[in-house]
């Protein structure tokens, strides 16, 4: 926060005891208070401008109510109370975040790519939640992303200043994270403004400075506004930052609002794809889903709080077991079905003592293989255990085994003499380039780089394993998708500069046999 003006004295608030000053800005002061009931530390933000008119009070209360609804989100600061002091100043009592804000952290040094990607998805989910509730933030920047005791980001300051009659004399502090359209229009699309500001915030965390600040150069408000409106987004030039991340940030910060991500959710999806590309754990995108019909019904009226899942059980009185094998045998229901007969290539009808289980029954009997010493399967022949039919199972099993053995011996005697085993065909050697012809084993292009000259960008690359008939396929790419691929023979291509400040292409090597290499992506500077 700025120190251009001295902070106002802390107001007396019933139920709270003043502890210390946390910070001061152009339109508000933030203090640390101790709440009496329940006992806890809270941050109290007091707006400098008073709310003397009834209209101003209504606008503040409406905005505070919406913020309170949003504060259940895990990455939005929790609001405990919103009220007005005796002298007419509005205040918010909210969650106290004791850790340094992202503004303090980036000034100590750039953050890691993995942490910035995770923070970006988490804050984007908070922004998307606000947008779905009809609230735009208007002032996303590192200083407005606090960090809780549990090291999670917490977005704060949801447009409260826009609901008051005061003029923010410290508005210039947000210029580094503001899109060009807000400098000349009061009707800018709030969603696209927030997307730009979120992209600029992530860029700042990676670069250790805001996007258009020039170390050692003229960084006055006028120069910053001019660069934001006309200069291309500088490359981060970090070896660990992939081109896909540079491209996503450039899309979020496109000069034209129409060229940016259509929503904070779309921005988060691009960041999640980059996490997957880098083999990082994908951070969940947390947004409140709409309730579906029946979700609020009690359990006995369709709700699923105590939903009974499907249970498959076996009726102990409905089955009997073979004394010899211990396998269940179903009672007689006058139903037959055909099943493979054990040891034969034909089918036999199930006896009247078995009922075919349903196809999706969890207790369906699986096929089994018996040994010559084992009695015949009771489910496939005369030896089935049928209620009311008495037969000594072991004797019957021995007779069946003897019959099968005799039949097997006769079959063996009648088998023709084995023929001499044919020699395997000679192994032919694969072509010399067979391995190279497999997808993924062709060496991709190298040294892909691009240079911008006016309204055009020229890309060039090298083919490290050139073969006769090689061609290239190049495709324009953005964070929003890919264009139409084109085939060329030269290792160079000139394309129009993209409108999103970042002109990028993918190139693959295409062999004469139709196989191609993995793609390589590059962007023009």
Per-residue pLDDT of 486-506, as tens digits, reads: 899 999 999 988 766 678 898
The whole-model pTM stands at: 0.63
Is 45 assigned to a binding site? yes
Q: Which residues of 398-423 are buried (b: 16+ CB within 10 A; e: fewer)?
A: eebbeeeeeeeeeeeeeeeeeeeeee
Rounded CA gap, 319 and 308, in Å? 26
Poorest-pLDDT segment among 103-117, 154-168, 370-384? 370-384
Q: How many CA atoms lie within 13 A of 186 on its CB side?
A: 1
Higher-pLDDT residue of 199, 396: 199
**What residue ranges define each of the domains in the chain, with the CATH number in brackets?**
16-277 (1.10.510.10), 313-360 (no CATH), 446-523 (2.60.40.10)
- Closest C-alpha among 155, 226, 219, 247 to residue 184: 226
pLDDT value, residue 52 = 61
Torsion over CA: 253, 257, 261, 265 (sign): positive
Is pLDDT at 105 greater than 90 in this prediction? Answer: yes
Q: Which residues, in sequence order, are bridge partners of residue 516?
A: 510
Tens of pLDDT, residue by residue over 55-87, are 666 766 776 777 788 888 999 998 898 888 877
pLDDT value, residue 500 = 61
Poorest-pLDDT segment among 37-46, 242-251, 407-416, 446-455? 407-416
- Closest C-alpha among 165, 123, 164, 125 to residue 144: 123
* Pair 210, 234: CB distance under 8 Å: no
DSSP string, 160-221: GGGGSS---TTGGGGGGG--GGGGT-S---HHHHHHHHHHHHHHHHHHTS-TT--TTS---H
Tens of pLDDT, residue by residue over 357-398, are 444 444 344 444 444 444 444 444 444 444 444 444 444 444
pLDDT value, residue 85 = 82
Is pLDDT at 309 greater than 60 in this prediction? Answer: no
SS3 state at 15 = coil
Catalytic residues: 138
* Pair 159, 136: CB distance under 8 Å: yes
């Amino acid at each position: 926060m700025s120190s251009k003006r001295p902070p106002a004295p802390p107001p007396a608030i019933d139920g709270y005891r003043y502890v210390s000053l946390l910070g001061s800005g152009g339109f508000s002061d933030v203090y640390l208070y101790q709440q009496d009931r329940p006992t806890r530390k809270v941050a109290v933000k007091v707006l400098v401008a008073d709310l003397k008119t009834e209209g101003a009070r209504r606008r503040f209360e409406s905005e505070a109510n919406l913020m309170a609804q949003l504060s259940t989100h895990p990455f939005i600061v929790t609001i405990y109370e919103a009220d007005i002091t005796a002298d007419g100043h509005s205040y918010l009592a909210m969650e106290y975040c004791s850790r340094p804000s992202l503004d303090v952290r980036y000034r100590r040094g750039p953050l890691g790519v993995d942490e910035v990607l995770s923070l970006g998805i988490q804050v984007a989910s908070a922004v998307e939640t606000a947008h779905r509730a009809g609230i735009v933030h208007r002032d996303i920047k590192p200083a407005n992303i606090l960090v809780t005791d549990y090291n999670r980001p917490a977005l704060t300051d949801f447009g409260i200043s826009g609901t008051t009659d005061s003029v923010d004399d410290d508005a210039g502090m947000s210029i580094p994270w503001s899109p060009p359209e807000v400098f000349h229009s009061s009707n800018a699309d709030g969603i696209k403004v927030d997307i730009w500001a979120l992209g600029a915030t992530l860029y700042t965390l990676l670069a250790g400075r805001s996007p258009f600040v020039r170390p050692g150069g003229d960084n006055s408000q006028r120069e910053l506004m001019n660069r934001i409106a006309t200069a291309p987004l500088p490359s981060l030039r970090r070896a660990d930052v992939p081109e896909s991340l540079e491209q996503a940030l450039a899309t979020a910060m496109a000069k034209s609002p129409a060229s940016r991500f259509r929503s904070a959710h779309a921005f988060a999806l691009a960041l999640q794809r980059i996490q997957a590309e880098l083999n990082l754990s994908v951070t969940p995108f947390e947004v409140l889903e709409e309730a579906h019909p029946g979700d609020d019904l009690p359990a006995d009226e369709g709700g699923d709080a105590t939903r009974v899942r499907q249970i498959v059980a076996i009726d102990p009185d409905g089955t009997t077991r073979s004394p010899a094998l211990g396998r269940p045998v179903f009672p007689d229901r006058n139903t037959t079905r055909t099943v493979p007969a054990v040891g034969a290539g034909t089918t036999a009808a199930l006896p009247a003592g078995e009922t075919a289980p349903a196809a999706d029954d969890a207790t369906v009997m699986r096929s089994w293989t018996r040994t010559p010493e084992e009695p015949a399967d009771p489910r496939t022949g005369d030896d089935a255990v049928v209620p009311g039919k008495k037969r000594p199972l072991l004797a019957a099993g021995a007779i069946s085994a003897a019959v099968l053995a005799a039949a097997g011996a006769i079959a063996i005697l009648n088998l023709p003499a084995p023929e001499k085993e044919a020699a395997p065909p000679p192994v032919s050697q694969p072509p010399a380039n067979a391995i190279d012809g497999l997808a993924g084993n062709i060496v991709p292009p190298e040294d892909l780089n691009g240079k911008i000259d006016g309204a055009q960008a020229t890309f060039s690359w090298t083919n490290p394993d050139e073969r006769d008939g090689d061609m290239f396929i190049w495709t324009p790419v953005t964070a929003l998708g890919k264009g139409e691929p084109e085939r060329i023979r030269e290792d160079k291509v000139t394309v129009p500069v993209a409108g999103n400040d970042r002109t990028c292409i993918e190139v693959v090597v295409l062999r004469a046999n139709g196989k191609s290499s993995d793609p390589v992506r590059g962007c023009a500077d």
